[in-house]
Each structure stands twice: as structure tokens, then as C-alpha cells.
């Protein structure tokens, strides 16, 4: 099923997460707003499969010609898949940060953490306030 931005949960720091699938896996990426703000992305550092993440913890970074920005995990869990191909094809983030530009998949350890994240409408409002 395609990832629709309206169905995601968001962090203030512009990461998104899907609801968990039947296996308890959630997909994480960065929003179109974040990609646009970063502009020309030139490098991305990703975590490794098996790494345990805590909600709010830095799990990697994205570098553009104007800034280096950490990426924070919206949820706690273990990294089960990394979109390693993305680092060689960063243009996918500009083209589609939700489908082709996903970053990691995580086996959630606490699905209840999703309740503390922003829904799409609230996230859009915050982005509009940031300009």
C-alpha cells in the first residue's frame, strides 16, 4: 500500500513514521518540508540493521550544501531494514520522500509512542508557521 502523508505521524523535527504493519514494523523517513528546507542534499548517514533506537534519539544525519541536520527517531525499536540504496540516490528524497525516499524500518517496541506524535493537520500547521 502506498505511503500517504495524511496517514503518517510526525515529529517536530520533521521525521515521519507509518503506523505499524501486521509484523509490527514501521517505516521512518523525513518529510517533504524538511527536504525542501535542506534544499540540495549531498550526504546521508544511516544506522545499521540491529541497532536499537529510543524515541527522540538521533539515528543518523542528512547533509545539504547549507547545513548538517541530525535525524531523530520518532519511536523506539530495533532497526530491521535500512534503505542503503538511498545514500547513492539522494535525489529520491526530492522526488518522493514518502515512497522512494524512506530511510529505515523499525520493529516497534512501544506502539503507544505513536500517540504522542503530530497528526498530518497539526504538522502542516507547524510547517506553515515556520515558513
pLDDT in tens, 63-113: 999 889 999 999 999 999 999 999 999 999 989 999 999 999 999 999 999
Model pLDDT, residue 66: 84
Task: Give the pLDDT mean for 12-36.
Answer: 95
- What are the φ/ψ torsions at residue 87 (nearest 5 degrees)? -60, -25
Q: Could you give all domains of the chain from N- to C-terminal order, each with its CATH number?
A: 5-111 (2.40.50.100)
Q: Are strands 77-82 and 52-53 parallel, antiparallel or unpaired?
A: antiparallel
Model pLDDT, residue 1: 61
pTM of the model: 0.95
Decide if 83 contacts 100 (C-beta within 8 A).
no
- Residue 45: pLDDT band with limits 50, 70, 90: very high
* 20 grid coordinates: 505499524
Model pLDDT, residue 87: 93
- Residue 21: pLDDT band with limits 50, 70, 90: very high
Model pLDDT, residue 17: 98
Model pLDDT, residue 39: 85
What is d(CA 11, CA 32) in angstroms, rounded to the nearest whole number?
13
Amino acid at each position: 500500500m502506498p505511503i500517504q502523508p495524511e496517514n503518517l505521524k510526525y515529529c517536530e523535527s520533521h521525521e515521519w513514521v507509518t503506523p505499524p504493519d501486521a509484523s509490527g514494523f514501521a517505516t521512518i523517513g523525513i518529510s517533504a518540508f524538511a527536504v525542501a528546507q535542506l534544499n540540495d542534499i549531498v550526504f546521508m548517514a544511516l544506522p545499521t540493521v540491529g541497532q536499537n533506537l529510543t524515541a527522540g534519539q538521533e539515528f543518523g544525519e542528512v547533509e545539504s550544501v547549507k547545513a548538517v541536520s541530525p535525524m531523530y527517531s520518532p519511536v523506539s525499536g530495533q532497526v530491521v531494514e535500512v534503505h542503503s540504496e538511498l545514500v547513492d540516490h539522494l535525489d529520491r528524497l526530492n522526488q518522493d520522500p514518502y515512497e522512494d525516499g524512506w530511510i529505515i524500518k523499525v520493529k516497534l517496541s512501544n506502539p503507544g509512542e505513536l500517540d504522542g506524535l503530530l497528526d498530518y493537520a497539526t504538522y502542516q500547521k507547524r510547517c506553515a508557521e515556520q515558513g
